[in-house]
Amino acid sequence: MSATIKTPAEIEKMRRAGRLAADVLQMIGEHVKKGVTTNELDKICHDYIVNVQKCIPAPLNYGNPPFPKSICTSVNHVICHGIPADKKLKDGDSINIDVTVIADGYHGDTSKMFVVGKPSILSERLIRITQECLYLGIKMVKPGARLGDIGHAIQQYAESNNYSVVREYCGHGIGANFHEEPQVVHYGKPNTGETLEAGMCFTIEPMINAGKRYSKVLPDQWTVVTKDRSLSAQWEHTLLVTETGVEILTLRDDETIDRIINH
């Protein structure tokens, strides 16, 4: 199985789904504050996606066992797939909110780090470096580049800052399906892996740990945490390979990177 090349009509649907997913992250920011529960954040996002956007939250009932909520909320040492619950956020907590919207049959998938109150110096640096890892990966994307080029750029930068890259979870092709080929790992060697072609859509979503890279899955069969309980951070965008580079389909207004990068 190799990546599907999207038609112009499919690309337009991917652009719309991407914009809607980005809108959810822009909407939820003001609600991330001390005392709110991740369940409350989930409900706000669910209502917005379903009632305002008239879309479908892809995580809800996805997988086996079915994921029980509409967004993933991964707090502090949770790497990914955190299930919203009744625990209240407190000052200094870092949280990744991961949103996937289905609009007209196509998926837009994106995540952002938020901090409650004032971040610790350690947390602030990890969050910043992880976002820079994402941007470095995105800047590698163009026709003729290879998946290993993306992984290598991310791994080198993370490890040069004394952080580690989670290996068990990765980016993925996306379109009419939530998860398609190819798998986009965030480590690797340049000039290895699948060659990128215009019309491919996939996510880059580096998960970077302040401690060691090892992870474990909790008994709920979804929540992934760092084995050493060190902080973890993640950022994610859905991307389109263009004829000359890359388009970020889930770009938010608060970002300074260009939506379209030509090489």
117: left (phi over 0), alpha (psi -120 to 50) or beta: left
Residue 81 annotated in ligand binding? yes
* Measured CA distances, 42 to 39, 82, 131, 197, 253 (Å): 5, 11, 23, 36, 22
* Among 251, 249, 237, 234, residue whose Cα is nearest residue 97: 234
* Spatial separation of the C-alpha atoms in residues 12 and 243, rounded to whole Å: 15
Residue 186 annotated in ligand binding? no
Residue 236 annotated in ligand binding? yes
* Spatial separation of the C-alpha atoms in residues 45 and 97, rounded to whole Å: 10
Residue 205 annotated in ligand binding? yes
* Spatial separation of the C-alpha atoms in residues 152 and 186, rounded to whole Å: 7
Residue type, 64: N
- What b/e readout covers 144-166, taking b as 16+ CB neighbours within 10 angstroms? ebbbbbbbbbbbebbeebebbbb
Task: Please identify which residue in the block is written with the tokens 């066992």.
Answer: 65
- Binding positions for substrate are 81, 179
- Binding positions for a divalent metal cation are 98, 109, 172, 205, 236
- Binding positions are 81, 98, 109, 172, 179, 205, 236
